């Protein structure tokens, strides 16, 4: 800034913007790079949006999304709606948590390799970020649970991205116990796993769970996520959110989505079947592929460079996510699409590996 009238916060001037996965607005890409669900949302969701379009949009929405909170509490077996905070995507929930617990210079703890947005959120807030490396078997070392350094907030994606690995609720409870701060279990991919940490929230004041409707409910375009925490935590964090953070259409659609659990269950089953089939094929092609509890696979290769594979895939209209983590190396994170999308990607991959062999 040349003009001293525009004095942005120093934390902001120093940082780089977070870059989400590519979202090409045109073209005919097979898009396997941002873990979207390949199936559309439930017909009841589309109906709810149509009804909401005619329902007095000139009025402000319910500030706390009561209809969603009631339905979600029922579906998740929570004592009541006061255990839920609605957000404009779980990104907003994460932002609210960072703004709730971290002052300038405070410590945020997170694992690595993991969701790189967390570091950006800490930087925006002016907080410090401590990245604790996963063990080779994707468990976490004791340092992750240690009070050393006085972390004020700990974020743990579970299932994790990019690995797709998951820690059991028991392991999560053991991590939370020695921590001097809230442990936020980011369950963006929780619906694809066999177990989750919702029940832990009832027993542990410092275990908080975030969820999104973007992945398992096929609603990335809608922006709706939520936090599950004990009611006094919800009350305090509600102070931070904008008065009307979720719009009337999103609230109606999200309520319909979480009510339509059969649709979600069926799509989940299809995705898990495709995932297991893709895993086998990728291993046949020579990739090292981790077992996944999410809707994507993390692929490395013992002797092939991965960035050229990512680039060649892109030239062939197949978008996957190439990621490179300091101390861990790189890999390809491949979202599970439809069978047809995955088959098409596998054909291109086989050809690429063949031709360069």
Give dist(CA 263, CA 285) in Å, integer: 33
> Is residue 262 near a second copy by the rule CB under 8 A?
no
Residue 272 contacts a second copy per CB under 8 A:
no
Nearest to 67 by CA among 261, 262, 258: 258
Residues pairing with 298 in the sheet: 333
Question: At closest approach, how far in Å is the CB of 129 from a second copy?
Answer: 16
CB of 284 to a second copy, least distance (A): 29
Segment lying near a second copy (by CB under 8 A), choices 61-69, 269-277, 309-317, 341-349: 61-69
Any idea of the CA torsion for 19, 20, 26, 27, to the nearest 10 degrees? 100
Which range binds a second copy by CB under 8 A, 62-70, 274-282, 285-293, 303-311?
62-70
Q: Which of 44, 116, 240, 290 binds a second copy (CB under 8 A)?
A: 240
Site for a second copy in 179-198 (CB under 8 A): 179-182
* Stretch near a second copy under the rule CB under 8 A, chosen from 98-106, 137-145, 275-283, 300-308: 98-106
Tokens 């790079």 locate to 33
Which of 139, 142, 242, 283 contacts a second copy by CB under 8 A?
A: 242
Rg of the chain's alpha carbons, rounded to an integer? 21
Interatomic CA distance for residues 339 and 336, integer angstroms: 8
The per-residue DSSP string of 102-140 comes to --TTPEEEEEESS-THHHHHHHHHT-EEEEEEPPTTS--
Number of residues in contact with a second copy, rule: CB under 8 A? 87
| Contact region with a second copy (CB under 8 A), list: 221-229, 271-279, 296-304, 316-324 | 221-229
- Binding to a second copy (CB under 8 A) within 7-26 occurs at 7-13, 15-18, 20, 23, 25
Reading the block at residue 139, the tokens are 């468990």
Pick from 109, 119, 211, 223: which binds a second copy (CB under 8 A)? 223
Considering the rule CB under 8 A, would residue 37 count as an interface residue with a second copy?
yes
- Footprint on residues 128-187 left by a second copy (CB under 8 A): 152, 179-182
Q: Does 29 bind a second copy (CB under 8 A)?
A: no
- From the list 85, 88, 160, 334, which residue makes contact with a second copy (rule: CB under 8 A)? 88
Q: Which of 61, 65, 111, 162 binds a second copy (CB under 8 A)?
A: 61
| 3-state class (DSSP) for residue 209 | strand
Q: How far is Cα 300 from Cα 170, in angstroms, rounded to an integer? A: 29
Nearest CA-CA partner of 332 in 305, 294, 293, 303: 305
* Minimum distance, C-beta of residue 226 to a second copy, in the bound complex (Å): 15
Shortest distance in whole angstroms from residue 27 CB to a second copy: 13
Q: SS3 helix, strand, coil % of the chain, rounded to 5? A: 40, 15, 45
């Amino acid at each position: 800034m040349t003009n001293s009238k525009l004095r942005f916060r120093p934390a902001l001037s120093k940082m780089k913007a977070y870059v989400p996965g590519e979202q090409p607005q045109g073209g005919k890409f097979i898009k396997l790079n941002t873990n979207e669900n390949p199936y559309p949302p439930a017909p009841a969701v589309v109906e709810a949006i149509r009804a909401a379009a005619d329902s007095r949009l000139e009025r402000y929405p319910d500030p706390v999304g009561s209809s969603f909170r009631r339905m979600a509490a029922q579906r998740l077996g929570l004592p009541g709606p006061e255990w839920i905070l609605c957000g404009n995507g779980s990104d907003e929930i994460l932002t609210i948590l960072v703004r709730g617990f971290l002052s300038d210079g405070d410590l945020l703890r997170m694992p690595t390799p993991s969701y790189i947005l967390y570091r950006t959120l800490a930087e925006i807030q002016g907080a410090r970020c401590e990245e604790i490396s996963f063990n080779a078997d994707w468990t976490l070392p004791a340092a992750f649970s240690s009070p050393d350094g006085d972390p004020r907030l700990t974020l743990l994606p579970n299932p994790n991205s990019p690995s797709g690995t998951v820690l059991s609720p028991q392991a999560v409870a053991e991590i939370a116990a020695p921590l001097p701060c809230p442990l936020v279990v980011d369950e963006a991919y929780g619906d694809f796993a066999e177990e989750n940490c919702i029940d832990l929230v009832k027993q542990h004041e410092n275990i908080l769970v975030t969820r999104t409707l973007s992945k398992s409910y096929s609603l990335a375009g809608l922006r709706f996520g939520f936090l599950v925490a004990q009611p006094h935590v919800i009350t305090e964090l509600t102070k931070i959110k904008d008065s009307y953070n979720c719009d009337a259409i999103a609230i109606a659609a999200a309520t319909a989505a979480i009510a339509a659990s059969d649709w979600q269950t069926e799509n989940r089953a299809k995705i898990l079947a495709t995932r297991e089939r893709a895993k086998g094929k990728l291993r046949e092609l020579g990739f090292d592929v981790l077992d996944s509890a999410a809707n994507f696979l993390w692929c490395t290769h013992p002797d092939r460079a991965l960035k050229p594979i990512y680039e060649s895939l892109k030239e062939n209209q197949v978008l996957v996510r190439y990621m490179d983590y300091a101390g861990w190396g790189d890999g390809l994170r491949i979202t599970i699409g439809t069978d047809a999308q995955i088959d098409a990607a596998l054909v291109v991959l086989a050809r690429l590996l063949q031709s360069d062999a």
